[in-house]
Amino acid sequence: MGLKSIGGCVIVLASSLATPALAKDGHRFFISVDMEGIGGVVTGEQLGTQGFEYAEFRELMTAEAAAAIAAAREAGGTEFVVADSHGTFQNLLVEKLPADVQLVRGTPRPYGMMQGLDATFDGVIFIGYHSSTTNTEGVRAHTFSSARLADLKLNGVSVTEGAWNAAFAGELGVAVLAVSGDEAAVKEVQSLVPGVEGAVVKWPYGFHAARVLSPEASRQAIREAVKRGLARRGQIGIVRTKTPVEVELRFKNYRPTEVLAWIPLFKRVDSHTIRYSAKDMAEAYRILEFLTTYEFGLEP
C-alpha cells in the first residue's frame, strides 16, 4: 500500500483502496460544477447575474457539464448527480440536462459544492474549478469567498476548493477522477490530489485575463480528461485526511475573527485568523458553510 503524506493530508495511493473496475450493474458519478473555470470566463461579466455575458455563459457552463456526463456515460456511467456550485447555485439550465441527470441547486446547504454526494458514488468530477486565494496565478483565484477569505488551511496546508472537496469525497471512500479549469487550478488540485486527470481550458495571464480555448475545444478537452479518469479509476488515489480535522480560516477583515473568538469552538490565532477542530471532514464542511452563510438578518 503506497502511503504518501502531503502536508497534513494523507493521500493513500491506489493499491489497497483502489476503486474496483466498472461492473455491468450501473454506476453513479457526481459532478460538481463551478463557473470561474469554465472555458472563456475571465471576469465578473460572465459570472454574475448582472454581467452582460452571464446568460450566454450559463449555456456554456451547462454544455461543459453535459460534455463531462456524456463522456462518463460512454465509459459506463448510468446515473449522474450534478451540484450547481457557483454563486447563487442556480446557474445550470435544468431544461438542458439529460433525463438520467439529477441536479442539486439552491443555497444555503450544509455540504456546499459537494451536496448530494454519498458513499454509493463511483467517482467525482470537478468542472469549471479555479485556483485558491493563496495562488499567485489563476483567473478569479479565491477560496470559497473572494470577498471575505484570504486563506483556508486543512491540517496546516493551504488548500484549494478542489482539494477540500476531494478530502470530503475521500472520507466517503470516493475518488476524484478529473478536474477542469484554467492551468493554475488544474495544477493546484493535481499537486494535492495526485493522479487526477486534468482538462486545461485556459491559460491565465492574470486575475482577469487569460488565453482561452473555444467552447468546442473546451468541451473536447473535458470529454478526453473524463474518459482518461474513468479508464484509470483503479489507479487514482482516494484522499484520506487525518482526523480530527484542523481548519484555519484567514479573513480579509478584522471583526469576524474578533466576534467568532467569543465561541469556545474557535481559537483566535492572530488578528485575522481563527482555527477550529472538527471530528471529520463532514463536520468541518458544515462549520465552514455556517461561517460563510450565517448572518443575523437571515430571512425567511
Cβ 206 to Zn ion shortest distance, Å: 18
Dist. CA 26–CA 162, nearest whole Å: 26
When the beta carbons of 86 and 202 are compared against Zn ion, the nearer one is 86
Cβ 146 to Zn ion shortest distance, Å: 8
Question: For residue 69, which of 101, 95, 104 has the smallest C-alpha distance?
Answer: 101
When the beta carbons of 22 and 65 are compared against Zn ion, the nearer one is 65
3 state SS of 288 = helix
64 binds Zn ion (CB under 5 A): no
Among 27, 58, 73, 86, binds Zn ion (CB under 5 A): 86
When the beta carbons of 35 and 247 are compared against Zn ion, the nearer one is 35
The backbone torsions φ and ψ at residue 165, rounded to the nearest 5 degrees and listed phi first, read -65, -35
Cβ 152 to Zn ion shortest distance, Å: 15
When the beta carbons of 14 and 117 are compared against Zn ion, the nearer one is 117
Question: For residue 143, which of 132, 154, 135 has the smallest C-alpha distance?
Answer: 132
Q: Site for Zn ion (CB under 5 A): how many residues?
A: 4
Under 8 Å between Cβ of 190 and 196:
yes
The one segment of 72-80, 83-91, 110-118, 255-263 that binds Zn ion by CB under 5 A: 83-91
Under 8 Å between Cβ of 226 and 72:
yes
Which residues, numbered 121-180, are part of the site for Zn ion (CB under 5 A)?
A: none
3 state SS of 158 = strand
Dist. CA 99–CA 80, nearest whole Å: 10
Cβ 291 to Zn ion shortest distance, Å: 17
Cβ 296 to Zn ion shortest distance, Å: 25
CA distances 239 to 171, 172, 195, 200, 228, Å, are 7, 10, 11, 22, 19
When the beta carbons of 128 and 229 are compared against Zn ion, the nearer one is 128
Among 34, 84, 161, 289, binds Zn ion (CB under 5 A): 34
Cβ 43 to Zn ion shortest distance, Å: 13
Which residues lie near Zn ion (CB under 5 A)?
34-36, 86
